Structure 1
Amino acid sequence: MSHGNGRREHFLASTGNRGQLTFYRWSRVATTTSMNMHRILERAGLRPTLPRVLVLEFFHQHPHEHFSAEQVYKRLNGDTRNMSLGTLYRALGLLVESDLLSSVALGEGCMVYELNDGKPHDHIICTACGGIREFFDEQIEARQRAVADQFEFEMAGRQLVLFGLCAECRKGRMQSQDGAGKLSRRLT
């Protein structure tokens, strides 16, 4: 289908795991990036379906960011709903299972995903603004390996997530507390 603005809409048909035919609107021409995503998926032993290609391409476009499934869903679908949330969760699960993405459990059933660059790192999460920072510390890595060795434990993976308040949120909280203190003093 062609639009007056010269943009072409492409539709790709895909059969789901129950055999139903689904049409996905794809408004971009196969680019070098999407062809690379096909190769990456095939090397990981995954069939390069459109949802998997789009999800992996999204994370390659945002290599150092963390997204919940709902955030990815909204960003990929925009105003139109081309991919169901269930399809997205299946794609995310397979991409994590094949080590192309990493998942970070934030507690209370919240999970975020990031591109797996193969480099170990940990996370600091602000509980006020939701900011996520990555860090690497060789001493922490060494200590975790030593603990695993001490218990004759073969480590398959690891996650360290620190929760607290970032400097900006602490500063904002102190300012609001100072303001509240000033207001309460004025009222008494």
Structure 2
Amino acid sequence: MEQTIRAFITFLKRKGCRITEQRIAVLKEVLSIEGHFEAKDLCERFEDRSDVSRATIYRTLKLLLESGLIRETVSDEKHPHYEKTVGGFHGHLICLNCGKIVEFPESGVMDLQREISERYGFELKFGKFEIFGICHRCREDGR
């Protein structure tokens, strides 16, 4: 966690942004979340703290996206979902009916992404692997 915080502080300095306790608190909260999250999830976690406003949360999310510490991932059309970029590579199975998201580890896909990137002269920064379909529950319910 400390290395990620230092990376964010370095990013903020390079960008000429202030390093505030509130921004660091938002980052720490993001790092404590397992899996995907929405901005509203963060807002709920800070409801009892008057020193961290919704605006601060949204602005910090934008900075975290820009820094590459989080990325926008699977989302419905109304609310973006985010995930940390630190940690192992994984893919997503997404149900087209109910929106359920299942994460699965998949190193083979990462190897394929590297191979394709090299073949076309790209420097791979990150990749997404998403499979869309109908989950078991929706199929059982006839949806």
- What is the TM-score with the length of structure 2 in the denominator? 0.71
2:93 is aligned to 124
CA distance in 1, matches of 2:126, 2:78: 19
Question: Could you list the runs of 5+ residues in structure 2 that have no partner in the other structure?
Answer: 13-17
Unaligned 5+ runs, structure 1: 1-35, 175-188
What CA deviation, in whole Å up to 9, does each residue of 1:60-90 have, x standing for no partner? 332x221111232233226x76544332121
More strand by share: 1
8 Å contact kept, 1:125–1:131: yes
Alignment CA distance shift 1:163-1:75 (3 Å):
farther
Cα RMSD of the aligned pairs, angstroms, is: 2.9
Verify: 1:41 aligned to 2:11, yes or no: no
Per the alignment, residue 63 of structure 2 pairs with 94
SS of equivalent to 2:97: coil
Q: What residue identity is the alignment partner of 1:55?
A: V
Judge conservation of contact 1:127–1:165 (CA < 8 Å) in 2. Answer: yes
Say if 1:42 and 1:48, in contact at 8 Å, map to a contact too: no
From 16, 22, 33, the equivalent of 1:51 is: 22
Ranges of 4+ aligned residues in structure 1 off by more than 4 Å = none
Preserved CA contact (<8 Å) 2:95 2:132: yes
Q: Give 3-state SS (helix, strand or coil) of 1:108's partner.
A: coil
Q: How many residues align?
A: 136
Q: Supply the AA of the counterpart residue of 2:129.
A: L
| CA gap 1:145/1:132 in 2 versus in 1, 3 angstroms | same
Residue 47 of structure 2 corresponds to residue 77 of structure 1: yes
Return the letter of the residue paired with 1:65: G
How many angstroms apart in 2 are the aligned matches of 1:170 and 1:56?
Answer: 38
* Larger-Rg structure: 1
Q: Structure 1 residues 42, 151: closer, same or farther in 2, change over 3 A?
A: closer
SS in 2 for 1:77: coil
